[in-house]
Amino acid sequence: MWLQVFLHIYLKRYTYCGSNLAYDGYVSLDLRLSMDEAKNTARATVHIGFDGRVHKQFKGPQARERYENEVRVLEYLQGKACGFVPQILSKNDDTLFLVTTNRGARVDRISQDKVDKIFAELETFGVRHEDAEVRNITYDNREGRFCVIDFEFATILEPGYPPSPEMKSNPDRAAWLNAEEGA
């Protein structure tokens, strides 16, 4: 599925009259920017922009807690110069919207031994993922390495940081949506 953003731009048009430049009205320009929808679940919608950036909108249960935790963990890892996780490019605390660098394509098949090694390497930077599943591993062709994504439930192991949100499950997803609409 594609999300398309339409921009309508008005530009002043000038023409030459002899040796003089004269204003001649406006020219309109339509610009269409597309984003590929990579994920749409009860907890988040993720789009990959035309420029490769990852646009993540948090929603559903514990959206604010999960957003704040992911931002806190990614900022912590940036401070530790961890090179195999997304880097925050922009964020909006009011709308729970996050834009990060793209860390490659999702991995379909990988051995459990390799998964364990990737998440163990993350712990050397002081973070436990708490959702150490293949769905949270990507492969970045540019870097030639596996990377880790989705830090909503990760824990910073260094003392003084708040605990990660507890993963809660609710089989009645309609209840989540109704609670969100009522807020």
The domains of the chain are located at 34-167
Q: Report the 10 Å Cβ neighbour count for 152.
A: 25
Write down the pLDDT at residue 82.
98
Topology of domain 34-167 in CATH is: Transferase(Phosphotransferase); domain 1 (1.10.510)
Strands of the 105-106 sheet, one edge to the other: 105-106, 137-140, 145-148
Q: What is the pTM of this model?
A: 0.75
**What is the spatial distance between Cα 93 and Cα 89, in angstroms, rounded to a whole number?**
13
For the chain, the straight-line distance linking the first and the last C-alpha, in angstroms and rounded, comes to 28
Write the pLDDT tens digit of every residue in 77-133: 999 999 999 999 999 999 999 999 999 999 989 999 999 999 999 999 999 999 999
Q: Where are the alpha helices (DSSP H) in the chain?
A: 63-79, 112-123, 173-182
